Every structure is written in C-alpha cells, then in structure tokens.
Amino acid sequence: MVVADCEAVAEVRVRGWRFAYEGLIPAWYLAAMTVEADAETRREHFAQDSTRAVNLVAERGGSVVGWACYGPYRDGQAPTGAAELYALYARPDQLSTGVGRALMAEAVSRAAAEGYGAMRLWVLKGNARARRFYERAGFAPDGAEEPWHVAGTTVPELRYTRRLTP
C-alpha cells in the first residue's frame, strides 16, 4: 500500500464495515461513516504509524478491492512476540473471490518471515462469516474474550490465534 491508496482503502473499509457489521453495530453509526473521514484517518495512520504496521492492498484491474493491516500484537506496552492482524476487508462484491484469502496468505507469510511466532486477531463474536473465514485460514479461538464499546453498544469480541512458521 502507498499513501495514494488511502482513499480506495477507506472505501473498502467503510463498505466492508457496513456489510460485515450490519445488525451487530448500530445502523446509525454505520450510516454516519464516510469515505472522506476514513481516508483522512488512513492518511494520518500511514504518515505517523509508530507500531510498525504493514498495510497490504489487493487489486483487480487496477482498482483496490481489499486491504489488510498487521503489526505487533497490542497487549499494553509489553512485547509479546506475536503479530496482530488489525484489519482485513474486501469489497462486498469481492467476497468469495479469493481476495481475502490472498491478503491473509500474504500477511501470514510476511509476519512469519519477520520472525513472529504467532498471529492473533479480534473478531466480533456475532460475525459468523468472518469467524468461518479465519478458521479456514488456520486460526482458532484461544479463550480470550473482551467487550468492544462502539456507538454506545457493547459487542463481545473473541481472540483467535494461529501459530506461524518461517
């Protein structure tokens, strides 16, 4: 990903949230999301990232159709030796086309090559489609669960983990 991709990534992310989180997060919150605001956030994160995050895009026909981001696992300030998949989204019209699988394979391969021993991610407990996707990619729930507070609603998240081999 390059900074010029931020607008396209924001579109993928906003459309992805609206599709994936419908019925899980308040509709008014999803409707209020804008590509413009998210693109500005992406540009800020891209320019000032201090977590060593790696942003990857998937393209088809020269258009960004998916985005993934990973970096060190965020567990307070203590290094854990694990990577965290911070985000993985594909445009809704690109689901089940291999875009997500390709992004996941690239993120896992790069994280392993960087020396991470495992990759973790957080997924909404009620997001059955995403949970199936992650399980097919070799991730499994590891027993950790946390509440995620968004738009005045508390939604449970589950942590999934996958061991990595270089």
pLDDT for res 134: 98
pTM score, whole prediction: 0.91
pLDDT for res 49: 64
Question: Is residue 75 scored above 80 in pLDDT?
Answer: no
pLDDT for res 77: 60
Mean pLDDT throughout 73-102?
A: 88
pLDDT for res 50: 60
Length of the chain: 166
pLDDT for res 148: 93
**Other C-beta atoms lying within 10 Å of the C-beta of residue 2:** 8
